[in-house]
Amino acid sequence: MQKLAGLLIILLISLSLTGCVSMRSDVEGLYKEQYAYVKKKPVKVFFDFYHYKKDVGLDVIPKLLYRAAIPDYDDIFKEAFKNLTNISEFETFTNRSDDISDRARLQKRDSAVLRADYTVKVEIQRTKSFITHFLAGMVSTVSATLIPMPYSWDYTVNVSVINKERDVAAKYNRQASVTTWYQVLLVPIYPFATEDMKNEEIYIEMLSDIFRQMDHEGVLK
């Protein structure tokens, strides 16, 4: 009986100490060109945000979220925004799935579009494999996390720049992924490679690189 109690205590301690480590990929589609100065006049810009999530194998279509899929998105946007050098005024709007029946929000968005010289449509999608996540969770639980199992999130950022005449002036795309491994032995590494930190890194890198390319190409002029 004492041995059984001891084993249960060890198991509970192991579960409470389960660690994880996250690794990120390089961003696909990074801007490689050298900076060339382009004279630009100050412009008013409306940033139109769409945040999507899709579980492949469960969702037929991407689901529009009420807010960004990761915390502190506003701070991430402000950091990326520093790469745009000729914006005199700007407004932001985060679209929601229930906007289709919210006349006040639709009017607010339409008014912002009319006031702006350019609309920058930012679509960010977070995708995972439902089956892979389910199996990883099941194996980790059954093995008390002794068997390391990974799961991944794939991120895609699509940006469209739309001018006053509603023509698309430019399009941009970046992609990256974050893979997380759960296992007891990863506890010492956890504080240095958290999933939130890796997600934030790729969000900042993707948005900053797109805005840098927009500025270098003089799209907002």
Positions of the chain with pLDDT under 70:
1-20, 130-149, 182-193
**pLDDT score at 9:** 46
- What sign results for the dihedral spanned by CA atoms 155, 75, 207, 161? positive
**pLDDT score at 146:** 53
Q: What is the pLDDT of residues 106-124, one digit of tens each?
A: 999 999 999 999 999 999 9
**pLDDT score at 69:** 81
Exposure string over 92-123, b if 16+ CB within 10 A, otherwise e: ebbbeeebeeeeebeeebeebbeebbbbbbbb
Pick from 129, 212, 139, 122: nearest CA to 177: 129
Determine which helix (DSSP H) or strand (DSSP E) holds 213, and give its type and residue range. helix 195-217
**pLDDT score at 125:** 96
Pick from 38, 4, 9: nearest CA to 214: 38
Which residues partner with 46 through β-bridges?
Answer: 91, 119
**pLDDT score at 113:** 98
25: burial class by Cβ within 10 Å (0-12, 13-18, 19+)? middle
Assigned token pair, 76: 């991430």
**pLDDT score at 181:** 74
**pLDDT score at 10:** 44
**pLDDT score at 6:** 54
Strands 43-56 and 87-94, how do they pair? parallel
**pLDDT score at 12:** 41
Cα 216 to its chain centre, rounded Å, is 23
**pLDDT score at 38:** 75
**pLDDT score at 193:** 54
Ramachandran angles phi, psi of 98, nearest 5°: -90, 5
Compute the distance between CA of residue 109 and CA of residue 127 in angstroms, rounded to an integer.
27
